[in-house]
Structure 1
Amino acid sequence: MPDEFEEKQRPDVVWSPPEMALAAPRVVAVHDKLRYAQGADQSDLSIDGLPNYHWLMSPSALDLPKVMLEAGINAPADLVAPDGNRRPLVAIRSSPWKAGHESNPWHDDFDLDHGHVRYYGDHKPSTIGLPGATKGNRLLLEAARLHSGTTMEERLLAPPILIFRAITVYRAGRAVVKGHVEFCGASIIERLEHVVQRDPQSGRSFPNLVLDLAVVAETDIDGIDLRWIDDRRNVSMTSADSLRYAPAAWKRWVREGAIAIPRIRRRVLASTVRSAPEQQPDPGSKEAEVLKTLYRFYDGQKHAFELLASWVAAEVLRKSGAQYKEGWLSRPSGDGGVDFIGRIDMGSISASTPVVVLGQAKCIIPSSTVSPEQVARVVARLRRGWIGVYVTTGSFSRQAQIGIIDDQYPVILIAGGLLAETVVRMIEANYGGDLQVLLQSTVDLYAEKITYRRPEEAISSI
């Protein structure tokens, strides 16, 4: 049966010159770098050697207002289409270089290779009222209602969430912080939550919204055809007709709803094996300095690193939504490849099952790698249904990663980059930003965390 949303032949349409000019696809793909200049001419295809954001989003031939990215959450006005009011799109912009400041006290998370972005709304410590008090959060709440729609009619009206991330580019040897964005995909609101955040500068708590966004797979042309957005901004087109250039993944979601999301989410399988530099913090970053400090602090007292690794593993697992409970550290000698033990409770309070977590910690020079044989020590201790976690200041060799993937071992690898990023988040949330306080606490508490128990006792004794 043909797809009812596939492009239809329109022999009755007589194309005007502007429409002829827009007949060719305008494609933007995930990770494309774009030049964003507020006053740029919509007729210029490129600026400074990069595609012009304003030409891609709203070419001058369309005679439509620009889709601006001046705020974190942006959207053109509603339009009255033949089938009712329609919001054409919502464009969100994350600015990592502002994270932790008064203007942006939250940290958005991007995992584009697995089609997931966790994005915080625009409520700030100084905002008065509930999370819907700001214009941006109102747009998100409105969009979330349609994205969670149980009927195809609701999902047809749901605006695509286009994600952009501010980036730094280098021109003539100079870092240019502003005026450039990276396209991060078209997405569906998978989940919206009300949360309470803490401003790292003032310590003040404030309410906000947080979204889990499912980035949809791109089409066989390796990108998103922005003529889809043109059609959604066309007042003469119904929402169903405006799907003619939409990604196949989006069309499937419109037809099937939330049940389709696992099958349409963007996945880049080849990227699961990462090079050593990709597993480490960016040189010169705050995380890189933190990682150096971690190695210097624990060099000579590496047993204490096991407690930090246990805390970091707990933070990483809980951040993913797991109900994780910390257990204990194993004795310093004869641990057999296990340094810490924990437990994940799978399911709900009334219906759950415990899963034992075995952890290994390895404090090594950040430039060095963990071999397949070292990872295999943890794998060898796993029983059916158990999970392993390996935390290191270094990186995992290519063969160690391939071994985990090919054999489908349930082992989570936390390399230096994620370790440092998690430690930064921990000290900002719980230690007043003081790394030394966190590090000293691992030394002070290490001895009392050691317990002479078998790992399987975690099922009943945590």
Structure 2
Amino acid sequence: MATKLVPHNQLSMSDLIVDAVYEGSADGQLSGEPISKLLPGSGNMGGFRVSGRGERKNWVVLFTTGEDRDWPDTLDLSTGQFVYYGDNKTPGHELHDTRSGGNKVLRHAFSRLHADHEPRCDIAPFLIFKKLPTANAVRSVQFKGLAVPGFQGLSATEDLVAVWKSSDGQRFQNYRSTFTILDVPVVKRAWINDLAAGNSRTANAPKAWIDWLESGRYCPLAAEATTIIRSVEQQSPDTALKRRILAGVWQYFKDVPIAFEAFAARIYQMTDSRVIVDEITRGTIDGGRDAVGRYLLGLGDDPVYAEFSLEAKCYRPALGGDTPNTVGVKEVSRLISRIRHRQFGVLVTTSIVARQAYQEVREDRHPIIFISGRDMAEILIKNGFNTEDRVEALLKNEFKI
């Protein structure tokens, strides 16, 4: 089924439907930006677009391009967790000294979330939009959902964190905030009108919003994936930056693929602080395993571990028109045969996993994690290696050939 597309001339009357696309004007002018037409008073620029004066807002729009390599906003569709970075993105300013005041909005919302007296009082609904150009309008956006600050299981020291970054030798802070997308498929126009009048608790309000306001109970929009076999496109880099980063890794290791094993283990370790790599095995005696390690499941002072075996495949990726050298059934079967009871496997490749191999693993429910070339680039970017120079420095400093 095709994604619902709302024409520009219908925006002012439309409901907000999760994953629907709202078109900008065909001329591409800023005046035809769709969010300001959907939500009058929100403005037409910036990541933070608020309606209302003072600390009590009618609503807050969080807009993301999904393209900021230094501050990668992310939405986990399987859990409804949304991570959004604040608006202090360049040196020379204090954390809350920003033009649009976005970080002040975050500070207020999360302080009210954890307040001892009347928690959640005066918190505005957050409406999440993502840039999604269409054939007719480059400024079109997609609605990702109604969000509230915090996430089940995160404490007050974890859901809003001031992180340090550096640029041109100067250090500065910005917020990393964590939200929950509520299970609200449609935000009705009638409720938007209520919000504009300054009242979020009306008969038109979504039940999940009222439940959260009154009890603090999160009801996330968690969507289990129906497609468990990723296509070639889904495993391949989808931006120029990701392609350049992957190309740099491939060029570095292609003539000495055995050196890629330690790097592959590091890539998996970057995905989760609970991953422990115990040994990079020697190529002549590895028995089909390039690295072995453990994943911490229990508490720090009472640990329970799940052991894993990791296989690294430095194969030619689909870059520059080249046909990729894919990881096939033979390579995957080799890893599966080495996994003992209560263990799992990790396969890391600069290329992609062939459909047949992917399908057999998923249909037979083998505990195998696949990390493709696109995943590798995204993991590096998320961990701060978000330029070709930074990746090159990592390779030369830690993985000498």
Q: TM-score, normalised by structure 2?
A: 0.78
**Matches of 1:341 and 1:410 in 2, distance apart?**
15
1:194 aligned residue: 161
1:55 to 34, 37, 43: 37
1:269 aligned residue: 225
Q: Is the 8 A contact 1:316 1:422 kept in 2?
A: yes
How many angstroms does 1:163 deviate by? 1.5
Letter of the 2:37 counterpart:
W
1:306 to 256, 261, 264: 261
Provide the secondary structure at the position in 2 that maps to 1:75.
Answer: strand
Matches within 5 A, 1:175-194: 176=138, 179-189=139-149, 190=151, 191=154, 192-194=159-161
1:164 aligned residue: 129
**Matches of 2:184 and 2:352 in 1, distance apart?**
31
Q: 1:390 and 2:382 equivalent?
A: no
**Matches of 1:25 and 1:432 in 2, distance apart?**
43
**Matches of 1:34 and 1:386 in 2, distance apart?**
48
2:65 aligned residue: 95
2:174 aligned residue: 208
Q: Is the 8 A contact 1:163 1:183 kept in 2?
A: yes
Once the two structures are superposed, what CA deviation does each residue of 1:155-184 show, in whole Å capped at 9, x if it has no partner? 575322212223455569xxx5xx343322
How many angstroms does 1:303 deviate by? 0.7
Structure 1 alignment gaps of length 5 or more = 1-20, 41-46, 59-65, 80-84, 446-462
RMSD: 3.5
Matches within 5 A, 1:19-418: 26-30=15-19, 32-35=21-24, 38-40=30-32, 52-58=34-40, 66-78=41-53, 87-97=57-67, 99=68, 105-112=70-77, 114-129=79-94, 131-134=95-98, 135-148=101-114, 154-155=119-120, 157-169=122-134, 176=138, 179-189=139-149, 190=151, 191=154, 192-199=159-166, 201-219=167-185, 223-235=186-198, 237=199, 239-242=200-203, 244-246=204-206, 248-254=207-213, 257-258=216-217, 260-261=218-219, 264-282=220-238, 285-318=240-273, 323-366=274-317, 367-418=324-375
Q: Is the 8 A contact 1:287 1:417 kept in 2?
A: yes
**Matches of 2:144 and 2:39 in 1, distance apart?**
14
Once the two structures are superposed, what CA deviation does each residue of 1:84-129 show, in whole Å capped at 9, x if it has no partner? x9532211122344x35xxxx4222333455332211122343443
Deviates more, 1:289-298 or 1:323-332: 289-298
Structure with max Cα Rg: 1
Identity of aligned residues (%): 24
Structure 2 alignment gaps of length 5 or more = 1-9, 318-323
Q: How many residues align?
A: 374
From the two aligned structures, give the one with the greater helix fraction. Answer: 1
Letter of the 2:222 counterpart:
R
Q: Is the 8 A contact 1:164 1:184 kept in 2?
A: yes
Letter of the 1:257 counterpart:
G
Deviates more, 1:304-313 or 1:131-140: 131-140
Q: Is the 8 A contact 1:427 1:435 kept in 2?
A: no
